[in-house]
Amino acid sequence: MSTDKTSPVDKAAAADPTAPIHLDKPHEAPVDAPPAAGEAVTAVDPRLLVREQGFAGYLSEFKRKMKAGDLGSLPVVVGLIVIMAIFQSLNSNFLTAGNLSDISVAMVGTGMIATGIVFVLLLGEIDLSVGSVSGVAGATFAVLNVTHGMAEWLALVLAILTGTVAGAIHGFVFAKIGVPAFAVTLAGLLFWNGFMLQVLGSNGTINLDSEGLVAKLTSYYFTDVAAAYGLAVIAVVAFFLTSLMDSRRREAAGVPSRPFSEIVLRTVLLAIPAFGVAAVYNQYKGLPLAVVLFLAVLVLTDFVLRRTAYGRKVFALGGSIEASRRAGINVVMVRTSIYAISGTFAAIGGLFLASKITAANQGAGSGELLMNAIAAAVIGGTSLFGGRGRTWNALLGVLVITSIQYGLALQGIASPIQYMITGGVLLATVVIDAVTRKTQKSAGRA
């Protein structure tokens, strides 16, 4: 007796392939065919919807970012405005052209060091040696130029390279040997401080030429009013053209881009403070050379971090070391180079600090310099947990710290109180950073 296991459906199909098939069992009902490709719902980038909705769209996007903890530089900008308003109410001299110009020049030395710290913090690491390295750079320049009569430009280059070498040594020991960065740079803090004292010798202080190259880093001003306004024009035009080119490039690639009206609005919002600052400088001595150099450094380093393959590797390492290694990134090379960059900017900052007092002495690189440099990077918005930050954060952070110092000095408040207030601001910033990180995790963005 043969058994035919062919199902009724198969038999019907074999008998007449064109005939419709009727099933007796409800659970054997045919499955609906998938919708045609033309009926599929196309995903729309939410950023496009925001721009289509105009002001209401941007307002809703702002609220969404606030809820998700994506605060950006908003807290530090608001804090800076509040600080300036408070000190101006206490002393009408705070917002004078002379005081604001002095603040901008005084912040450059610490700001340069903080720029290097930003690179290190992007890795989620720390560099405790930058204060001592800055002192070594100033002492090296003074000894080579003043004591041994070396040409200023050559002594300047060698002093900066001293910081580069010191940072590269720290980075190699950390990245290659595996010693924790905290321990390596703490040892560097002690070693380079002793090295500086040894270089300066028993005298302890070497005065620099007040008309020399290093002295002019903080004492030279472009007195022509066209200099400050010209720099403002260059900054605004460069921002507009860069934004426009980036928008056109994104349009060509078929990805969301900023509309022309938004680019114009952003340019206007930049032009207002740019020309306002230029007007303030022209009411005093003119445009400071130190500020021009600092801005140039920020533009260059921001370009490196955001527009180059090296910068992407830095952010990748800050996100995950193991993932970066699996992606083929040379972790040892990048880590070592980051500390070399930090040492280089520490040396540059040390030269600006030496320029401010036209001397290299045993107190260089000590005191609150290290903490101020780290605090400036963190207060400006760079995360202590790595992977988030920009070198422009150094500008915002050091501006906050220097403004607090000058404001308290105008009130005649002693240094211990200044330290306490600066520490409180730093603690508040770190708390905000930690809360922001947790909020972003809960929102699925970290």
> How far apart, in whole angstroms, are the C-alpha atoms of residue 415 and residue 412?
9
Task: Using the predicted structure, report yes or no on whether residue 21 has a pLDDT greater than 60.
Answer: no
Task: Using the predicted structure, report yes or no on whether residue 68 has a pLDDT greater than 60.
Answer: no
How big is the chain by its Cα radius of gyration, in Å? 29
CB of 417 closer than 8 Å to CB of 426: no
Q: Can you give the pLDDT at residue 125?
A: 92
Distance of CA 94 to the CA centre of its chain: 27
Question: Which of 68, 101, 202 lies closest to 147, judged by CA?
Answer: 202
pLDDT digits (tens, 9 = 90+) for 165-208: 999 999 999 999 999 999 999 999 999 999 999 988 877 888 99
CB of 83 closer than 8 Å to CB of 403: yes
Which residues partner with 359 through β-bridges?
207
**24 SS3 class:** coil
Q: Can you give the pLDDT at residue 435?
A: 73
> How far apart, in whole angstroms, are the C-alpha atoms of residue 124 and residue 315?
10
CB of 373 closer than 8 Å to CB of 349: yes
For every residue of 304-348, DSSP letters joined together read: HHHHSHHHHHHHHHHH-HHHHHHTT--HHHHHHHHHHHHHHHHHH
> How far apart, in whole angstroms, are the C-alpha atoms of residue 224 and residue 221?
9
Task: Using the predicted structure, report yes or no on whether residue 328 has a pLDDT greater than 50.
Answer: yes
Beta-strand ranges (E) seen in 225-313 are: 287-288
> How far apart, in whole angstroms, are the C-alpha atoms of residue 416 and residue 44?
56
Question: Which of 404, 406, 395, 426 lies closest to 112, judged by CA?
Answer: 395
Here the contacts of 186-191 (C-beta below 8 Å, separation 24 or greater) are 186/128, 186/129, 188/128, 188/129, 188/132, 188/133, 189/128, 189/129, 189/131, 189/132, 189/370, 190/132, 191/132
Task: Using the predicted structure, report yes or no on whether residue 52 has a pLDDT greater than 60.
Answer: no
Task: Using the predicted structure, report yes or no on whether residue 34 has a pLDDT greater than 70.
Answer: no
Q: Can you give the pLDDT at residue 380?
A: 86
Q: Can you give the pLDDT at residue 250?
A: 84
Q: Can you give the pLDDT at residue 1?
A: 46
CA atoms within 13 A on the CB side of 420: 5
pLDDT digits (tens, 9 = 90+) for 253-292: 887 777 888 889 999 999 999 999 999 999 999 999 999 9
CB of 341 closer than 8 Å to CB of 133: no
What's the mean pLDDT when you consider all of the chain? 84
Q: Can you give the pLDDT at residue 236?
A: 95
**For residue 44, how many other CB atoms are within 10 A of its CB?**
10
DSSP letter for 26, please.
G
What is the identity of the amino acid at 403?
S
CB of 58 closer than 8 Å to CB of 261: no
Token duo for residue 38: 């033309």
pLDDT digits (tens, 9 = 90+) for 95-148: 999 999 999 999 999 999 999 999 999 998 999 999 999 999 999 999 999 999
The lowest-confidence range among 25-34, 300-309, 409-418 is: 25-34
pLDDT digits (tens, 9 = 90+) for 200-234: 887 788 899 888 999 999 999 999 999 999 999 99
